[in-house]
Chains A and B, each alone.
Chain A
Amino acid sequence: MTLGLLSISWQVIVDSIGLGAVYALMAVGIGLVFGVLRLVNFAYGQLVMAGAYALAFASQWDLPLVVGIAFCFAVVIALSLLMDLVIFRPLRAQSPAVMLVATFAVAFLLQSIALLAFGPLGKSASSLGYLNRPVTVGDVDIRKITIVAIIVAGVCLLLLVLLLERTTMGLHMRAAAMDFRTARLLGVRADRVIGSAVLISALLAATVSVILTVQNPLVTPDFALRDTIVVLAGVVVGGMNRLLTATMGGFAIGFVSGILGGALPSDQSQYLPSLLFGLVILVLLIRPNGLFARGPGPVERV
């Protein structure tokens, strides 16, 4: 079945929603940390990469599936807390530009460590491979992992909304994201809020590792690097200042990227990154504060 002139099949639409769902999860992970620390974490993709390596080793050692996934979560959480302790905490007082460059350095550092330790060829993480098999709905073949990705993303986002809206910790996190100093004056414990944001963002990264290794079982040192760059662009395009707009930005860029990939004729498909980032720059020029942000940007006070 096709939609009008664009000849975009339902297949492409479903796959695009799946990609958007994964990117939305990564966007939440990046947006949460940005909310409390004002820090854009370039190294987020390397958390996903570390989780993917954990899964690859788990499948190499023939660990049971549940143990493998638990191992993946443990590795990602440990690395994320370590990153916060060693890098983010000493940099808290620095300017956003310095922090951006610092996380860029950490991303490269982790990637080169992976290259050194595991080599450039990559390892295979195949224990969940059966999720790649398609189910047929009507005349559309949907890979099971796409359905799983969409459901997992939906559940994660719902849980997160509940946490942020219904618990004291969520209230504290929202307050800290709005105005960190005032929140601290009012008794919000800074370390606990930052710790929970880092922890939740690590949980999301581990979830993304599991989904991405199913879609792409070959784990290399630059695993998820491209995805992170695209998601970062999506988060900024959506609007960094609110978690909701950042998430929508992440979903939108995944969805648009999927649709463009399907709509481009195959001899032009290598130009997809140009088209995508061209769009990103265009949107940033028209709405520098974010596509989904409300009202004019903050007025600079002297």
Chain B
Amino acid sequence: MSGRHLTQLAGPVGLVVIAALLGSVASNSTEIYFINALVAVSIVVAIYVFVGNSGVVSFGHISFVAVGAWTAGVLSVPVSEKPAIMQYLFPVLRDNTVGNVPSLLTAAAVGGVYALLVGLPLMRLSGLAAGIATFGVLEITHNLLRYYEKVGPGTNTFSSVPETTDLLQAAIGALLVIGVAFGYQSSRFGRLLRASREDPAAARAVGVSVYQQRLIAFTLSGVLAGFAGGLYVHLLPINSETVYLDLTFITLAMLVIGGMSSLWGAVVGALAVSGLDSLLAEAENGLTIGGLTVDLPAGTRLVIVGALMALILILRPGGITGGREFRLDHLRRSRPPTPEESNS
């Protein structure tokens, strides 16, 4: 791995560290926004590992987040509290509780296995059929988690999950996910998949199995999404509606706004949209900036994020970062990138 590549990692890592440091000096009521933003980074980077590297849109990744959240949530609610919200659990789930870290690791494993099982048939598809099929996965997952009460709380909310995702855990989690994503995209597999994104026919012609490469990325992004779901359930009392259409929309918006085809874009998008979203949330409760009181009606946030996403797609389809990785010399001088660079 060359030095130039490692500077690419410096941007995302630096941003996450800055966000975490800002959060640590913020007041208690503001800190939650920073924790939220860092968990959003984990989710968006997990989606990026598949969508960004393969160029195939997936509406189904929140399924893996949901499955991860269910796994970590069910495993870590104290045994004494389980009957209150989950009275129909399988005995093995009902009688056992694990700690914070094991629950996150199990969430990652279950997310990965689920993504592998789903990906085995689905990665044969491409284009529209793939988009609709991943949507189908989201619908099925949501439907099963909502009504199958032997594996979780059904329509109840995951209350009494220990809230262990503090600023430190969220930051470490985000850095871990970024590290894995970067390691993957610099690896042989990541490069083969990106080659197939740029030109599937040419990639096939030089012997790349597009199916196999997509399946690897899909499984890995399932692992990361499951892990991120674990972080999420340890942060907030979520339910089956929290990890469904709205989260799918907002995370896709983050990825698109930042720039779909780079890790830098995923991180920038997640943090920028989270920041905007938090600001708007404050404004919905009444916010005073320089003597001027802004009081937006509730629900303005989604309107503004949706409009921003549509605008970015129309005016700058590459997103804020133009889909390019972080580079130090972009800070020093600007020159038009060669085609090779804009693809990398």
List A residues at the B interface (Cβ < 8 Å).
40, 87, 90-91, 94, 96-98, 100-102, 104-106, 108-109, 111-113, 115-116, 229, 232-233, 236-237, 240, 270-271, 273-274, 277-278, 280-281, 284-285, 288, 300, 302
Contacts and interface: CB of A to CB of B under 8 A. Distances in A.
A240 B131 CA distance: 13
A115 B299 contact: yes
Given A97-B131, A109-B310, 7 more contacts: A104-B59, A105-B253, A112-B303, A233-B135, A274-B144, A280-B132, A302-B202
Contacts of B307: 109
Contacts, number: 120
A198 B252 CA distance: 27
Contact of A96 (B127, B253, B256, B314): B127
A101 B313 contact: yes
B208 to A, nearest CB: 15
B310 A100 contact: no
Contacts of B317: 94, 98
Contacts of B142: 273
A112 B299 contact: yes
A97 B55 contact: yes
B249 interface: yes
Nearest to A112: B302
- List the 8 shortest-distance A-B pairs measured between CB atoms, nearest first: A109-B306, A112-B302, A277-B136, A105-B309, A116-B299, A273-B143, A236-B132, A102-B313
Contacts of A94: 313, 317
A94 B57 CA distance: 14
Given A281-B122, A284-B133, A40 B147 contact: no
A104 B249 CA distance: 8
28 contacts: A87-B314, A97-B55, A102-B309, A104-B59, A104-B252, A105-B306, A105-B310, A106-B306, A108-B249, A109-B309, A111-B302, A112-B303, A115-B302, A116-B298, A229-B139, A236-B129, A240-B128, A270-B147, A271-B143, A277-B143, A280-B133, A280-B136, A281-B121, A281-B137, A284-B129, A285-B125, A288-B129, A300-B200
Given A98-B317, A229-B135, A285-B121, A106 B310 contact: yes
Contacts of B127: 96
B136 A233 contact: yes
Given A113-B303, A284-B132, A302 B143 contact: no
